[in-house]
Amino acid sequence: KPSLWDSPTWVPPTDDGLMWMGENAYPFHEIATPAPRGHRVTSDGFGGKVLMAVLSEAVAKTGIDVHIDTGALRLVVDGDRVVGVVARHFQQTVTYRARRGVVLTTGGFADNAEMLAQHAPQLVGLGVNSDGGDDGRGIVIAQAVGAAVKHMSAGQVGISLVPGMMVRGMIVNDVGQRFINEDVYPGLVGQAALFKHNLRVWVILDEQAYEEVPVDERWGVQPHFVAETLAELEREIGMPEGALESTVGEYNRFAERGEDPYFHKSARWLRPLRPPFAAIDVRRGMAPPEYGDGGTSGGGAEVFTIGGLRTSVDGHVLDLDGELIPGLFAAGRATSGLHSWGYISGTSLGDGTYFGRRAGGAAARQ
């Protein structure tokens, strides 16, 4: 649907098909002419279920055998070639002969705490965006037959804040310093907040900024601290005396002129902040409507892993010397795919669908 939702948010509350995910923000708007884009299939709220319904229906029509509740344990190799899979179906060990190839689309490893500790320790202990099955097994069984991985420390960080509040105020670390332009894609804010500031971050805003965000976009978030002065707010949060006064003072001084020489937030979102002030502790989470009654994302962020198997653009898995492993393909979050650090929302759909189709096609042509 070609209508534009023109305000920072994770997912529009409408069925608008286009939005900005920070493409119209610094530094990206200086590198290319920004265009709004689709983040999801046309849908009210989150679109994942619609997409899966369409894909499942297409699979059902083809008559393909689907074996559910069956997890791959290891690959079977004949010489240099991958020719099958040994899997577990409840108590039963099952073996599959792959005449053309095995395509691994097993997801990342965000649900595997040991793999996280080895490769992406900053993601340990946070909420996870997955169906619970991102155990990394597909990556490991491919490595066991010689596959290479890359970018294993990269992660997407869905930070628990309402972008519309942040963009109208500011986000600061635990000594009151801003660290990014608040109108950029909020996942990049999350990556900066986690990897650079250990998620000890607060959204600082004033009453007008809070009131401007429609109730249905607030996702249950209310200020955790409110104060008539910044000095009082600093004390409540436990920041150094003068930290917010200094940061907000500088911010306001330039906002009067519609400028942000520190982080280049767009003039559209620049306005001096006035008392009363409020602070939101990002680690206390929020309640996205898709989570249903009482569902909250606590801890400050929900994450998934970006690193994974090295592949060619046809989905061939590459070995440690960069050569194709005959008979082995992969797509989606089991691969390192398009992104690494700097992930932006929605592009895993591209890694899954576009490169998944290419991987399936390449396997079928074997």
Contacts with its own copies by CB under 8 A lie at 118-119, 121, 140, 143-144, 146, 148-153, 175, 177, 195-196, 240-243, 246, 249-250, 253-254, 261-263, 310, 319-321, 340-341
Give residue 285's region: left, alpha or beta (phi > 0; psi -120 to 50): left
Which is closer to its own copies, CB of 206 or CB of 260?
Answer: 260
CB of 153 to its own copies, least distance (A): 4
Return the number of other C-beta atoms located less than 10 Å from residue 347's C-beta.
Answer: 18
Which is closer to its own copies, CB of 57 or CB of 321?
Answer: 321
C-alpha closest to that of 352 among 127, 108, 73 = 108
Which is closer to its own copies, CB of 153 or CB of 156?
Answer: 153
CB of 260 to its own copies, least distance (A): 9
Which is closer to its own copies, CB of 160 or CB of 247?
Answer: 247
CB of 143 to its own copies, least distance (A): 6
| Alpha carbons 175 and 141: distance in angstroms, whole number | 44
Q: How far is CA 23 from the centre of its chain?
A: 16
CB of 77 to its own copies, least distance (A): 12
Which is closer to its own copies, CB of 198 or CB of 366?
Answer: 198
Element holding 204 (H helix, E strand): strand 202-206
Residue 10 to residues 66, 165, 234: CA-CA distances in angstroms?
33, 12, 29
CB of 83 to its own copies, least distance (A): 19
CB of 208 to its own copies, least distance (A): 25
Return the number of other C-beta atoms located less than 10 Å from residue 68's C-beta.
Answer: 5
| Alpha carbons 249 and 272: distance in angstroms, whole number | 9
Which is closer to its own copies, CB of 218 or CB of 264?
Answer: 264
Looking up tokens 């003068």 gives 242
| Alpha carbons 106 and 309: distance in angstroms, whole number | 11
CB of 120 to its own copies, least distance (A): 8
Which of the 8 DSSP states describes residue 291? G
- Going by DSSP bridges, is the β-strand pair 18-19/4-5 parallel, antiparallel, or unpaired? parallel
The answer to whether the CB of 139 falls within 8 A of the CB of 192 is no
Which is closer to its own copies, CB of 203 or CB of 325?
Answer: 325
| Alpha carbons 242 and 228: distance in angstroms, whole number | 15
